[in-house]
Amino acid sequence: MKNASLLWLLILISLLSCTTNQARLTVSPSSSQFFIRDFVSLSCEEDDSSAGWTLRRNTSKQQRTQCGDGWGEAAGSSCNISYIYTSDSGVYWCESREGPISNMVNLTVTGGSVILQSPVLPVMEGDDVTLLCKTKTTPSNLPAAFYKDGSLIRKQPTGHMTIQHVSRSDEGLYKCDISGHGESPSSWITVTVIRLVCHLVVFCPYFISTLLSVSLYQHRANGNDPTVILATAANAEQRMCEDYDDIAAVTSEHQF
């Protein structure tokens, strides 16, 4: 009876730790800045369609309004804005009738002639990120200057800049400028720390393997203590994450 209780407790912890039931808001085209009258599609990507996710937004004039309530057109799990305007600038997210919400996305619509096309979602530490400075009517390969937190990073003759192996030091407020056309609005780029991924990758298999080990223990009844398995797996998880942190510490020194 004691072993059965332990098994069910581990199952419950595993389910709570390894499942999220959370929607992920995506934007197409993938950008946080848009010109007036651009087409934009926002989607609530989810694992559990029964959760009843609704796309909502906050703007300077409206709070927590949902798609179809004076803006956008619902199309399944997506919301399409055929002609986006400056009044559509704001924060967008997916919200469940049960309470949870998705990641939030900040969209900026400009009446100017230059935008910075940058990742709308957080980027993974170590990935390469390309920023594109573009105008509405002219080719997108014009020379451009790129700025981070108000300081000039570099000038690129082709209008795009790649940040290689991004780290937390690359987080910040970015904008660009094309001579003779103007300056883009600013957009924040977020870098996701990989240590969280390490725990998610190691943590769930750890619980699954533990459940299997405890099940075998019940059938074998050989007298082994299942807490030994828990301690061994926990130590292995800690060592893997500590080893990875040593590698991440080296990459975090990168600067562009």
In a 13 Å sphere around the CA of 113, the CA atoms on its Cβ side amount to 10
Residue type, 172: G
What superfamily would CATH give domain 21-111?
Immunoglobulins (2.60.40.10)
pLDDT for 194 equals: 65
Secondary structure of 70-99 in HEC code, one letter for each residue: CCCEEECCEEEECCCCHHHCEEEEEEECCC
pLDDT for the residue 171: 97
| Per-residue pLDDT at 242 | 45
Q: What is the pTM of this model?
A: 0.69
pLDDT of residue 100: 82
Query: How far, CA to CA in Å, does 149 sit from each of 20, 48, 80, 88, 174?
Result: 34, 39, 32, 25, 6
Overall CATH class of domain 113-192: mainly beta
Burial grade of 255 (CB within 10 A; 0-12, 13-18, 19 or more) = exposed
Helix (H) or strand (E) holding 119: none
For residue 23 the two structure tokens come to 């929607």
Q: List, run by run, the mean pLDDT of 10-residue segments along the chain (256 residues).
A: 48 45 86 96 77 89 94 92 97 88 95 95 95 87 96 96 96 96 96 61 48 48 48 44 41 35
Give the separation between CA 105 and CA 58, rounded to whole angstroms. Answer: 11
> Which stretch of DSSP H or E encloses residue 64?
none
